[in-house]
Amino acid sequence: KKMTVNAFMPSCGTTLNIGCGAFQYFLQSSGIIINCDIDKKNAETFVQCRGENLPFHDDTFDSIIAFDVIEHLADEKIFLKEVARVLKRRGKLYLTTPCSEDDFLLIEIPKKITWRDAENDWGHKRRGYTVREFTDLIEGIFSPVHLERFAATFARVGYQLYYLRRWYKFWRKFSPVKLFLRCFNLLDFYFCRGRGH
């Protein structure tokens, strides 16, 4: 199994990056990438729009990316149908979203805010989905090719430090933060396969 989304991503073709935000900097492709978001972003080839109403023709894109977008939407079915409309017949959707199942060791550290408060700040409409809820959601619209859970016991510690203790306020200034979080993800990848958020 590959561990990063980029390992699955196509290296060519036309890709729509919905809710681009900071994720635009992680994408690697020799093809064309069109970024879109509800808010204006400083991104190359950018279109300001809502995910539920994409201003593109049918069957336009070879692939579509929606990293941590669907949990922000009031009606995710409309979003998925709109994505399916602009995606080519044999195109692929790459989607990440929080998983609401806790089937691994929970390590809690003293924190400044709760997950609920953090998610309210992020504009989440829901906590996430169980695997069953997610597969039910996409049924009849998409057929899953690969479904994977990640960020389990070890990453939970890193995410709590980063988000709930708000270490991101000073970590953003230092590049080692990416390495720090990646170490937690690597531990989960090798010791907690098939679990996590």
9 CA to centre of own chain = 13
pLDDT at 2 over 50: no
CA–chain centroid gap for 87, Å, is 18
Q: Is the pLDDT of residue 183 over 50?
A: yes
**pLDDT score of 25 more than 60:** no
Per-residue pLDDT reduced to its tens digit, 137-180: 999 999 988 887 777 778 888 888 888 888 777 766 666 766 77
Which residue stretches of 41-195 are H helix?
76-86, 115-122, 131-138, 153-159, 168-171, 176-191
DSSP assignment of 166-190, as one string?
-THHHHTT-THHHHHHHHHHHHHHH
pTM value?
0.81
Reply yes or no on whether the pLDDT at 77 is more than 50.
yes
| Confidence at residue 3, expressed as pLDDT on a 0 to 100 scale | 47
Joined together, the tokens standing for residue 173 give 């200034």
pLDDT at 73 over 70: yes
Residue 11, both tokens: 């290296």
Beta strands in the chain (DSSP E): 14-18, 32-37, 46-48, 61-67, 87-96
Our CA dihedral for 40, 41, 43, 44, rounded to 10 degrees, sits at 0
pLDDT band at 80 (very low <50, low <70, confident <90, very high): very high
* The residue type at 163: Y
Mean of pLDDT values over 6-15: 74
**Tokens at 137, concatenated:** 């959601």
Question: Does position 7 have pLDDT exceeding 70, yes or no?
Answer: no
Backbone angles phi, psi at 117, to 5 degrees: -65, -40
pLDDT given at position 172:
64
- C-beta of residue 196 within 8 angstroms of C-beta of residue 151: yes
Per-residue model confidence (pLDDT) at position 1: 39
Q: Find out whether 129 and 99 touch, Cβ atoms under 8 Å.
A: yes
Confidence category of residue 30, pLDDT binned at 50, 70, 90: low
